[in-house]
Amino acid sequence: MKKFFTHHPLMKLIALTLSVALWWFVRSERQNEKTVDIEIAYTKPPNNLIMASPPQETIRLRLRGPQSKLAKVDGDYFSSHVIDLSHGIDGPNNFWLYEEDFKLPFGVYVTQIYPQAIRVLLKPRELRQVSIKPRFIGELPPGIEIQSVLVNPPSVVFESFQEELDDLDFFYTEPINLNGRVHDFEAEYYIDKSNHTGVLATEKIRVSIDLVEKEIQETIPSLPVVLEIENKENVLLEPETVSITVKGPLSKVLKIVKIPPVPKVDPLILNKVFASRKDQQVDIVVEPQEEMSFTVDPPKVWIRFSTQKQKEEQ
């Protein structure tokens, strides 16, 4: 014992002085408190069981210690606190938390843990194939509408407990925004299972949306019938004008309304009529256009030759 005090006495004295000074500094520094939230991660559930209650997402610690030490304990200080479910049983399970579960700087200690126990309800695991429906928000521009929607895959495997599966018909996707869309589009979207506790086999699906212009129809009245022949003397048309109803994609219909089609008699038929010089009723034709349909009213007109008409009146 005597040798302990006489061997290197100066070094021992310095060490003792530093220890006392450090202890005094820690004891004398002002004590503060703060709260810290720590995320919870759940791992290793039993193969035959699944969580059947909304999981506790965070733990709140009430800490006390010197201000300089507490300052180091910020949001990035702790990693997620892991709850090991491997020994869980069917039914309610309590996982208790203790101060020694959390590594803290020297001089900082836990005064409160909330909640003190993490309650997890486990139930037998069941599987079901559940269909997916797209959820749309916003509005397409005027004249544009959805032609078809393809969801790939159309359904996914969902692992849950029996009571939740009994109340489940389908899942929606996250909202798909239609505002300003004028062309076909496709993308991957998350499946919205925010109100369910089970586990999806995949979190994303691909949705393809084909858009098409809305089909409308407009009637253009009083369009003069054109006879494409040089000698039109002594020729009368009854009636001289017709109406044309145009049906097709909105943008094309509006364009045609501004620049109407020309109603006329087929040139081959017209030549035959003029060769015979006899009054005849003929069909009115309109030059066809892609994606458009035309309805003429009346569909036929009379071509009359005035000389013959005069003879009949006599």
Domain limits of the chain?
28-123, 126-213, 215-313
Evaluate if residue 310 carries a pLDDT over 60.
Answer: no
For 138, which DSSP code? S
Instruction: Give residue 314's pLDDT.
Output: 46
Range 161-177 average pLDDT: 94
Tokens of 286: 């309109």
Centroid of chain to Cα 103: 42
CA gap 257, 259 in Å, rounded: 6
pLDDT band for position 90 (cuts 50, 70, 90): very high
Residue 223 C-beta-side C-alpha neighbours within 13 Å: 28
Residue 263 phi, psi (nearest 5):
-80, 135
Evaluate if residue 108 carries a pLDDT over 70.
Answer: yes
The more confident residue out of 307 and 195 is: 195
Evaluate if residue 139 carries a pLDDT over 80.
Answer: yes
For 234, which DSSP code? T
Give percent above pLDDT 70 in the chain: 91
**For residue range 211-244, what is the model confidence (pLDDT) as tens digits?**
998 999 999 999 999 988 777 778 888 999 999 9
Q: Are 63 and 108 in contact (CB under 8 A)?
A: yes
Q: What mean pLDDT is reported for the chain?
A: 88
The CATH number of the domain covering residues in 126-213: 2.170.120.40
Which range among 75-79, 206-210, 283-287 shows the weakest confidence by mean pLDDT? 75-79
Domain 215-313 in this protein, CATH class: mainly beta
78, with CB counted inside 10 A (0-12, 13-18, 19+), is middle
Range 121-134 average pLDDT: 95
Evaluate if residue 162 carries a pLDDT over 50.
Answer: yes
Report pTM.
Answer: 0.60
CA gap 61, 103 in Å, rounded: 12
Instruction: Give residue 286's pLDDT.
Output: 93
**For residue range 256-265, what is the model confidence (pLDDT) as tens digits?**
999 999 999 9
Tokens of 184: 């076909």
* Identity at 84, one-letter amino acid code: D
Range 98-107 average pLDDT: 91
Instruction: Give residue 206's pLDDT.
Output: 97
CA gap 299, 10 in Å, rounded: 123
Instruction: Give residue 230's pLDDT.
Output: 75
Evaluate if residue 284 carries a pLDDT over 80.
Answer: yes
The CATH number of the domain covering residues in 28-123: 2.170.120.30
Which range among 51-60, 145-154, 167-176 shows the weakest confidence by mean pLDDT? 51-60
**For residue range 1-59, what is the model confidence (pLDDT) as tens digits?**
555 555 666 776 777 777 766 666 555 557 889 999 999 999 998 989 999 988 899 99
